[in-house]
Amino acid sequence: MRGGLHPRTGDPFRWIEQAMDNCLALTRGAAMPPIEGAPGSLKASNEYKDKLMTMDGAEVLAGAVTRDETAILDAWLAGLRAGASLQSGRIREAELQTQAKSVLAQFKDALAEGGPDADGEAYASLRETLAEISRSRAIQGFTPTDTANFVFALKEPIIEALRRAIGSDTPALAAGIVAAGKVLDQLGLHTTEVFLASREEVIGRQGQEIAELSTPVVRLWDGILALPLIGTLDSARTGVVMENLLQAIVDEEAEIAIIDITGVPTVDTLVAQHLLKTVAAARLMGADCIVSGIRPQIAQTMVHLGVELNVVSKATLADAFAVALKQTGRRVVRQQAAPTVERR
């Protein structure tokens, strides 16, 4: 590249980077500095400034993408194959190719119609496609970095296409690179935001399912239910516990509900309040409650905190079950073995 080497560093692309800086300076209304080491006729800063002011980066970018779409797609797929997407085994290569081909085609059409503004109406279809890809990758277990790199990996192939198409026309190359960086950064941020929102939704749904599975209501006897609790009690989980228990009281026409807190690590004032709310709700439904699983450490903590449950409590679930049987007019007796008859 004759005349294109930087006079001090010898870097063939140093003047391109300086040209990009000058593009940004123009947008801020700053003075136009001359480019040191720029090829031949572009050394005059006034002529270079006039050319930059009339240069449409989106038009340059759209032209390069349209002319070199196949090469861009091949280079993009090569970069994606070398990344962690395929190596993780979470996605098949055929699916990755389909996604990349669809995104690049919509990207080309959006560029031609709406310029580099990725938030515009022309990019609505592309944004929705990227959103669907982000949601699927959130479910498949991809990381945010892998998902964002799907878009950002397109930068290098597009810049190489711009260099092939424009050659030594520094203003056009700089304008095209700036436009490509702007639109791809916006699309990458959109992809990441949708991915994070989808993952939070998945985590929330999984947490709700785990909470429902961790609060089963067990029928011990006719009219007697047991609710074993494992883990801490917070406001959200208390709502699930209360809903499950009240529904089971209605379905089973239960008279006694045993709340077993053997799996609750500690009982403080907040946990005690949640237990009392559950007991009060059960009483409104016509069922008495018994709390079981009060360990010595928990009893000492409750006394120290001045917590009063105001409900029948027992140390074990078996003791609570015996009390429940007694309150419902039942008792457990040992059946005597029938005498054996000797055969002669």
Longest dimension (CA), the chain: 128
Decide if 39 is inside a domain. Answer: no
Residues 61 and 191 in one domain: yes
Decide if 97 is inside a domain. Answer: yes
Decide if 66 is inside a domain. Answer: yes
Tokens coding 18: 């300086």
Number of domains in the chain: 2
Residue count (the chain): 344
The model's pLDDT over 185-228, given as tens digits with 9 standing for 90+, comes to 999 999 999 999 999 988 888 877 777 677 789 999 999 999 99
Residues 186 and 318 in one domain: no
Decide if 37 is inside a domain. Answer: no
What CATH number does the domain containing 111 carry? 1.10.490.10
User: Dihedral (C-alpha) 35, 37, 42, 47: value to the nearest 10 degrees?
Assistant: 30
From 230, 234, 237, select the one nearest 260 (Cα to Cα): 230
Decide if 234 is inside a domain. Answer: yes
Backbone dihedral region for residue 257 (phi beyond 0: left; psi -120 to 50: alpha; all else: beta): beta
What is the residue range of 165's domain? Answer: 55-206
What CATH number does the domain containing 299 carry? 3.30.750.24
Average pLDDT value for residue range 103-113: 92
Residues 281 and 235 in one domain: yes
The model's pLDDT over 275-307, given as tens digits with 9 standing for 90+, comes to 888 899 999 999 999 999 988 888 888 888 887
> What pTM was computed for the model?
0.57
